[in-house]
Amino acid sequence: MINYNKHIKPLAYLFVLLIIAGCGGSDDGGDGGGNTTPKAAALLFPLENSECNEGTIVSDEMSTVPFEWEASENTDSYTLVIENLLDNTVKNVNTQSTTVQETILRGVPYAWLVVSKVNGSTQTAISPKWRFYNAGAPVENHAPFPAELVSPVMGGLAVTSPDLKWTGSDIDNDIESYDVYLDTANPPTTLLTNTSSSNASGTNLNPDTVYYWKVVTKDGHGNTSQSPVFEFRTQ
């Protein structure tokens, strides 16, 4: 006689396993227990280190510029962050789209990035930061972008002989030199050095003292730009 129980039990176990697998969480970032961490968006336009000539001129001072990026994974909404690099004012625009039209000043350097967000989570992802000039009246040469201070970081600790580091960029690629100011006063007025490099050394600083520093970038046509002022405390 055939023992049906011998064959039914393995099939029952297989059936239970299939049910468990079918009820498992989804991997698509939904409510099924999947990944709820958004991915960083890839920026498309305005291009990095470029002059933006696209958009609609609203007045002598303003134009409406399109900001575009690729849709990122596990993302429900975005915050577009636009920073005026001359006065450091920041505009935040919340959107579910990947294209936003914003009216900004002409002839001004800007930085922009996108923050990806997902509903029901505090996790976010931040895109790279791109910088561009919003085109104004035609000019033969553009001022450099303000230097981005790298080290010491804002509000950080440093040794009494710190290495000051920054990055500079210019859409005309004609940066000539940097004036580096370091002082215990804010804003700093003491010239530490003029250099064509992107680093300088502060020597024999007082311990346990707050110092302020900034970088003025110069190009070959006499144009200049000034970085924000950073502060650090010596150990």
Q: Residue 117 contacts by C-beta under 8 Å, 6 or more apart in sequence?
A: 38, 75, 76, 77, 78, 79, 124
Which tokens sit at 86? 């001359």
3-state secondary structure of 73: coil
Which tokens sit at 96? 């579910």
| pLDDT tens track for 116-159 | 999 999 999 999 999 999 999 888 899 999 999 999 999 999 99
Domains of the chain with CATH codes: 43-134 (2.60.40.10), 148-234 (2.60.40.10)
Q: What is the pLDDT of residue 139?
A: 84
Which tokens sit at 38? 């958004």
pLDDT above 90 coverage of the chain, percent:
81
**What average pLDDT does range 23-34 have in this prediction?**
42
Which tokens sit at 234? 């010596």
CA distance linking residue 187 with residue 200, whole number of Å: 18
Please report which confidence band the pLDDT of residue 7 belongs to, taking 50, 70 and 90 as the band edges: very low
CA distance linking residue 170 with residue 135, whole number of Å: 14
Q: What is the pLDDT of residue 34?
A: 55
* 104: nearest Cα among 131, 84, 130: 84
Check whether 189 has a pLDDT greater than 80: yes
User: β-pairing, 230-234 with 210-219?
Assistant: antiparallel
In this structure, the chain runs to a length of 235
CA distance linking residue 111 with residue 57, whole number of Å: 20
Which tokens sit at 122? 């505090």
| Apex 225 CA angle, 223 and 231, nearest 5 | 155
CA distance linking residue 175 with residue 88, whole number of Å: 22
User: β-pairing, 124-126 with 230-234?
Assistant: unpaired
CA distance linking residue 37 with residue 18, whole number of Å: 28
Beta-bridged to residue 113, according to DSSP, are 81
Please report which confidence band the pLDDT of residue 73 belongs to, taking 50, 70 and 90 as the band edges: very high
* 117: nearest Cα among 109, 108, 126, 104: 126
CA distance linking residue 118 with residue 38, whole number of Å: 6
